[in-house]
Structure 1
């Protein structure tokens, strides 16, 4: 079994630009032997620009988007950004994609959130065609027809292939997927998977969905690590994150994170967390997150316990554990895992 790698997940920005802090962290991660650094986007910063900035100031660490939202740009625009960063970084780029959720897609991007699984397949297919640069790209798909011939068309669209020759035709594509159909499709069409929650103790939740994965398929979950002798304090940041995502990152009708928590064995607790959060009782919602669930998807507790439980992750299908923290934390994780 291949040794577990570490990746640095810088996430998306808060209210302020992190400035050189993220660059410094990426440089230290590279020095320590981390495999990759990832940047996210929500409805603030984009994910490609920070990676280009970081890539210009590093030399070996892989650069990934976790995740680039499909609705933020067309497949052609995404492929253009991909071939640009991959060329500038000397072939270090990995494209992480995801559909996001209806609140963001319809509220921020002004697009319908329909058939996300079908849309993802069509998107990936076009990106791969563009990077392959074998012929002018056409698509008769439902969402991204090329050339476009719909309402408002001038009827003058011409199939094109990129002027710039990509330095790699096989840039790795990862997909952030939660639902069973999306995870199954990810194993079929992508080079890797970026799960939001993963547990080495509940591998059965995903096992059937990953049977179609090809050799070398990467699984790279983001894992919250909190080394603290007090287990209650160690788990609190994990429970706070879960309370927000399960309670508020979605609607009462559909919340993909809540549905995943239910599939992982905690359906009643998921309902309660959402109910409390939507009633404005955020502290109670956080407290209602089961310690067991928070513990299963994270690495928390005294250093010795974290080191012991790290073995369970190493023995799982996970290939890279994505973590986040300050420079001292990065060094401590490298000592434990690398």
Structure 2
């Protein structure tokens, strides 16, 4: 069996209520718990708790932006998690987006490829215990006091060929999202067969297709109008089918943008249906070459999130 990951915290469930379900994950067949960081819970706190609640799970953030923490602080937090979960922590880093970095944190979103590359190289050295001076990042003489005995692996968030190839060359794994099973081969061809490929997969375990599609349209309009994701789906071949949505969104017509998202695009990118149907769909990703699906369970009417996690277990 492939790895089988879950996104924590679960939507709508306070972090303080996660101990019981996280402690069950290993027995349910999950191998991984991955956090995220947008405008809710930070990426590291849920993993610190999970490291104690479930001592066998592999843990990682998917992803931590490279802009919103200084390089030294990012290394400190990674070293702390690596100490709490020796050999089980993977550091997922990426550019994030202009909205998160610039609009919400007031940090210029400039030269994303170079920033990710330079931060990745800095973290390799810092987490190995070296004293690091890095002119590109304006870091002078940084050394960790608590460098982990086993430096964590580093996974790089990547969408298009340039970043995917950087992940293949210099990271231990690549993390992607917003793709269908039929897209996996195209992404895998850029990463190569040696590196682990992870993807966050949005799962709405309801047989009410219209409810799932309504939620999916809203998420697709919010995410895939971001320039990096728009370019990603242009590369994947969905540009024409998403053109009307992008046009309406750029003109400020949110209602029309939602209406312009085709049902077949939602069905490709959002896994929905009964838990059994969802598991089968996720398995299609694995058979196409995905090493680690990371389920992000979406809320739906009459769906209990904790029971959904149990029902979606492999």
What interval of TM-score do these two structures reach, taking the shorter chain for normalisation?
0.7 to 0.9
CA deviation after TM superposition for structure 1 residue 279, in Å:
4.5
1:199 aligned residue (162, 173, 180): 180
Structure 2 counterpart of 1:244: 222
Task: Tell me if the contact between 1:79 and 1:130 (Cα under 8 Å) persists in the aligned partners.
Answer: yes
Structure 1 counterpart of 2:288: 316
1:49 aligned residue (38, 45, 49): 45
Structure 1 counterpart of 2:300: none
CA deviation after TM superposition for structure 1 residue 280, in Å:
4.8
Structure 2: distance between partners of 1:44 and 1:302: 28
CA deviation after TM superposition for structure 1 residue 121, in Å:
1.0
The count of residues paired between Structure 1 and Structure 2 equals: 307
CA deviation after TM superposition for structure 1 residue 82, in Å:
0.9
Which one has the largest radius of gyration?
1
For the aligned residue pairs, the C-alpha RMSD in angstroms reads 2.5
1:161 aligned residue (126, 143, 167): 143
1:94 aligned residue (59, 73, 90): 90
Closer, same or farther: CA 328–69 of 1 in aligned 2, 3 Å = same
Structure 1: distance between partners of 2:112 and 2:58: 28
Closer, same or farther: CA 324–13 of 1 in aligned 2, 3 Å = closer
1:145 and 2:138 aligned: yes
1:136 aligned residue (113, 131, 137): 131
CA deviation after TM superposition for structure 1 residue 308, in Å:
4.2
Task: Tell me if the contact between 1:47 and 1:65 (Cα under 8 Å) persists in the aligned partners.
Answer: yes
Structure 2: distance between partners of 1:124 and 1:24: 35
CA deviation after TM superposition for structure 1 residue 116, in Å:
0.9
Task: Tell me if the contact between 2:224 and 2:230 (Cα under 8 Å) persists in the aligned partners.
Answer: yes
CA deviation after TM superposition for structure 1 residue 201, in Å:
1.1
1:175 and 2:156 aligned: yes
Structure 2 counterpart of 1:153: none
CA deviation after TM superposition for structure 1 residue 241, in Å:
0.9
1:188 and 2:183 aligned: no
Task: Tell me if the contact between 1:178 and 1:195 (Cα under 8 Å) persists in the aligned partners.
Answer: yes
Closer, same or farther: CA 237–108 of 1 in aligned 2, 3 Å = closer
Structure 1 counterpart of 2:107: 111
Closer, same or farther: CA 229–45 of 1 in aligned 2, 3 Å = closer
Structure 1 counterpart of 2:211: 233
* Counterpart secondary structure, 1:195: strand
1:269 aligned residue (225, 234, 241): 241
* Counterpart secondary structure, 1:96: strand
Task: Tell me if the contact between 1:75 and 1:124 (Cα under 8 Å) persists in the aligned partners.
Answer: no
Give me the TM-score of the superposition, normalised by structure 1. 0.81
Closer, same or farther: CA 85–319 of 1 in aligned 2, 3 Å = same
Task: Tell me if the contact between 1:205 and 1:263 (Cα under 8 Å) persists in the aligned partners.
Answer: no
Structure 2 counterpart of 1:75: 71
Cα deviation, 1:190-229, whole Å, max 9, x if unaligned, reads 1122212222213353244213x6x3x2222111223333
Ranges in structure 2 where 5+ consecutive residues have no aligned partner: 298-304
